Structure 1
Amino acid sequence: MTAYAVAHMRQATLGPEIVEYLHKIDATLEPFGGRFLVHGGAVEVVENSWPGHLIVIEFPDRDHVRGWYNSPAYQAILALRTENSQADVIFVDGVEHPHKATDVLE
């Protein structure tokens, strides 16, 4: 089942470390089938508030997203982001299609 790495990037200091991170992250995703679906950009807030940006990276499954995050290549650049930003990061599975809202009641 498709899985996602989702980050709510609340704050980032766009300095040399974040720029280096951005230059290197794509190469860490490729071996695990990761691809950006959402990477920042303007959000339209329709309820409450949303400080910051949203990042969504798609992977073939949860094993691939964990493999990417724990890989030596990603771990080597992780501090470039974490020491220069504030973010909440989660892994979440997608849903099988077709999916109805009431499927969560089963």
Structure 2
Amino acid sequence: MQEIEHTWPNYRASGTGPYDKEYSAMTAYVVFTRERTTNQAELDTYARDAPGAAEGHNVSFLALYGKHEVLEGPTMEGAAVLRFPTIEEARRWYDSPAYQEASKHRHAGAEYRVFIVEGAE
């Protein structure tokens, strides 16, 4: 079987295509995947405290641990997706004292994978 290398064009660097200079401020998404719960009481505390950390931040909650189906890769217990106007705003929220205080309970209550991804909007 022939191996095919996939390379995606870097439109942002070239200044051509859908990601040219007029799209310099890109939407960002923070994605949480809960891999395994280890302490439900800690997660309950996180669920109570984390929403307050959104005050003062431009965040939209797009998905919050609803029904899901894993199509590829390891199973997960749930996922959440938050939208921010920019990666910088997402980091301001994530690094804020209020969210960092709430996240201590998430860390104590479950194994998570969390990442920020830039949108194509």
Three-state SS of the structure 2 residue aligned to 1:89 is strand
Q: Does 1:21 align with 2:57?
A: no
Is the CA contact (8 Å cut-off) linking 1:28 and 1:73 kept in structure 2?
yes
Instruction: Return the index of the structure with the highest Cα Rg.
Output: 2
Deviates more, 1:79-88 or 1:44-53: 44-53
| 1:67 and 2:62 aligned | no
Q: Among all aligned residue pairs of Structure 1 and Structure 2, give the percentage whose two residues are the same amino acid.
A: 32
Using structure 2 for the length normalisation, give the TM-score.
Answer: 0.70
What is residue 44 of structure 1 aligned with on the other side? 69
Offset of residue 53 of structure 1: 1.1
Find the residue that maps to 1:83 and give its secondary structure: helix
> Which one has more relative contact order, counting CA pairs under 8 Å at least 6 apart?
1
1:92 aligns with 2:113: no
Q: Using the alignment, how far apart are the partners of 1:65 and 1:59 within structure 2?
A: 6
- How large is the RMSD of aligned CA atoms in angstroms? 1.7
Mind listing any 5+ residue stretches in structure 2 that lack a counterpart? 1-25
Q: How many residues align?
A: 96
C-alpha distance in 2 between matches for 1:66 and 1:38: 19
Deviation track 1:3-44 (CA, whole Å, cap 9, x = no partner) reads: 111011111246332112111111111311112111112213
Q: In the alignment, is the contact (CA less than 8 A) between 2:34 and 2:77 conserved in 1? A: yes
